[in-house]
Amino acid sequence: MRFHEQVMGVYFDDLDPFHILHNARYLLLFERTLGSFWRVLGLGGMQDPDSPDRFHLVKTNRIEYLAPVRGEQEVRVRVWIERLGTTSLTFGFRLMPMDEDRDCARGERTVIRVDPETFRPTPWTDELRTRLAPWVG
Amino acid sequence: MRFHEQVMGVYFDDLDPFHILHNARYLLLFERTLGSFWRVLGLGGMQDPDSPDRFHLVKTNRIEYLAPVRGEQEVRVRVWIERLGTTSLTFGFRLMPMDEDRDCARGERTVIRVDPETFRPTPWTDELRTRLAPWVG
Amino acid sequence: MRFHEQVMGVYFDDLDPFHILHNARYLLLFERTLGSFWRVLGLGGMQDPDSPDRFHLVKTNRIEYLAPVRGEQEVRVRVWIERLGTTSLTFGFRLMPMDEDRDCARGERTVIRVDPETFRPTPWTDELRTRLAPWVG
Amino acid sequence: MRFHEQVMGVYFDDLDPFHILHNARYLLLFERTLGSFWRVLGLGGMQDPDSPDRFHLVKTNRIEYLAPVRGEQEVRVRVWIERLGTTSLTFGFRLMPMDEDRDCARGERTVIRVDPETFRPTPWTDELRTRLAPWVG
């Protein structure tokens, strides 16, 4: 499965009193990596009028924590496409140390494209489907 | 099912550019409500040496977003116990508006009690089981 | 000097690896208290078209940290008006424990009312001046 | 004046409802850049027993906001040493766009080295003074 991977920093302010990456911060690391994946796809920012597909809402987030991330460090976050539906899109995530191929966490996010006025689900554009084709299973 | 409910504020800094509660903040609202639930149970803080059960790690987080939370407001967060295992404990969550009984989001968190030295799973104390009894099943 | 005071929670996720309130979180506690102060003044939210004065930008923030806030707890945050200028407004802040009249931190924030289109400084409305009068000097 | 500069990302979750970098996030960008500056100095992490100087508390933070940072982008954060005292150390900061030498914000942070047991101010080590020498004055 083709994936996009990015190095992300874990900073002092991301650590909790146990000196480990706070459980809610994983969602941010996933989302930020997803943002760079959109740019790799050639799709602009969330407010870009030329990227109508960028206007979507998060439907579900799931994270499984496998090993604590201890202390300030860099980590690798990998994102790929699990499923492309008519109005939905599911991404898979892995968070890994820099120097070992083991998972500290795995996650999944499903988003739904919505109409910016009504917030109702609306199908992805053909352009998005074309751009995603090389990334879909 | 018996539950614990708490009013939580959604603040300007919790809102994203779409003027809705950012998806990662739900985890914090859930966790903070959980913290007050521990106190209702008569169990101290995370570093309280008299509360050995407080030393646990998050194993999974799941959130389903049902309706955006728009703008600064107060919301109700409800937490209850889904399952109590030997070393695990699963909480259910709902986030609701102040004035309507509908869900903006539902979630689930499983934690594992670990040994503070080895970080290995270790059974919950009998005291915790006794305190949780009125909230289970 | 007349002030507005609010009880705010310090949560697990606000603590840093030293088990104290992270230095950047004070700004959020100040800002959130300021938000409730605006409501006390009878002024709506940031996007309220009937509250044109709510559209303003932060010009400066200053914080002096006097004593660490250790562990999860409630604190009191006090806000008052230091200075009202033509287009600027300076608030003073204190963060105090629940049960003692000593300062853990003191701060100051200056905001500038701006035009929502041009982002240029623009004078406060007479309505704001009237509402603030009992709180100024 | 010799400085250390680092590129930092501004992400979707850093933006507020006005689509600009939230005022409290600047402190995090400054602190994270400071963390990388400590590493440039050859000094380890906050909990490194070989870096006794890393145990210090923030005494003051000041930020002046000069121009909003609009939307997701990369920015440059520059840090340098303003003053080295017996137990204190003051850093200066600038936040700049990637492609122009103008300031979006300027800041200053003073930290105090403290004894990890008593939290009392204690003089910086000679090793720190030696390492900082090329950056002072």
- D115 lies within 8 A of chain C by CB: no
The tens digit of pLDDT for each residue in B56-90 reads: 999 999 999 999 999 999 999 999 999 999 999 99
Give the bridge partners for A70, in sequence order.
A20
Neighbours of B49 (CB within 10 A): 9
Q: Which domains occur in chain B, in start order?
A: 4-135 (3.10.129.10)
Of C57, C65, C68, the CB nearest to D65: C57
Residues of A in contact with C19 (CB under 8 A): 17
Record the tokens describing residue C103, joined without a space: 């300062």
CA atoms within 13 A on the CB side of A119: 11
Q: What share of chain D is helix, strand, coil (3-state, %, to 5)?
A: 25, 40, 35
Please check the confidence at residue D116 and state whether its pLDDT lies above 90. Answer: no
Q: Do D13 and B19 touch (CB under 8 A)?
A: no
Whether B78 contacts B91, CB under 8 Å: no
E strand or H helix at B22 = none
Strand order in the sheet with A88-97: A4-10, A73-84, A88-97, A105-113, A56-65, B56-65, B105-113, B88-97, B73-84, B4-10
Q: Do B17 and D16 touch (CB under 8 A)?
A: yes
What is the Cα–Cα distance from D55 to A4, expressed in whole angstroms? 38
CA of B35 to nearest chain A CA: how many angstroms apart? Answer: 14
Report pTM: 0.94
Where helices occur in chain B by DSSP H, the ranges are: 25-40, 126-132
Q: Nearest CA to A93 among A62, A134, A68, A129?
A: A62
Backbone angles phi, psi at A82, to 5 degrees: -85, -45
Window 35-74 of B, Cβ < 8 Å to D: none
Neighbours of C52 (CB within 10 A): 17
Backbone angles phi, psi at C125, to 5 degrees: -75, 160
ipTM of predicted assembly, 2 dp: 0.93
What is the Cα–Cα distance from D34 to D91, expressed in whole angstroms? 9
Q: Do D58 and C65 touch (CB under 8 A)?
A: yes
Residue-by-residue pLDDT tens, chain B, 137 positions: 899 999 999 999 999 998 999 999 999 999 999 999 988 888 766 556 667 887 899 999 999 999 999 999 999 999 999 999 999 999 999 999 999 999 999 999 999 999 888 889 999 999 999 999 999 97
Calculate the alpha carbon distances from D106 to B13, C62, D66, D77, D79 in Å. Answer: 21, 12, 8, 10, 10
CA atoms within 13 A on the CB side of D30: 28
The tens digit of pLDDT for each residue in C84-95 reads: 999 999 999 999
Q: Nearest CA to C27 among D62, B22, B17, B73?
A: D62
E strand or H helix at C76 = strand C73-84
Name the 3-class secondary structure at B10. strand
CA of C9 to nearest chain B CA: how many angstroms apart? Answer: 9
Record the tokens describing residue A36, joined without a space: 């760079």
Which band of pLDDT confidence, cut at 50, 70 and 90, is reported for residue D98? very high
E strand or H helix at A77 = strand A73-84
Please check the confidence at residue A102 and state whether its pLDDT lies above 90. Answer: yes
Record the tokens describing residue A74, joined without a space: 């860099």
The tens digit of pLDDT for each residue in A49-81 reads: 667 887 899 999 999 999 999 999 999 999 999
Give the bridge partners for B4, in sequence order.
B79
Name the 3-class secondary structure at D122. coil
Backbone angles phi, psi at A20, to 5 degrees: -120, 160
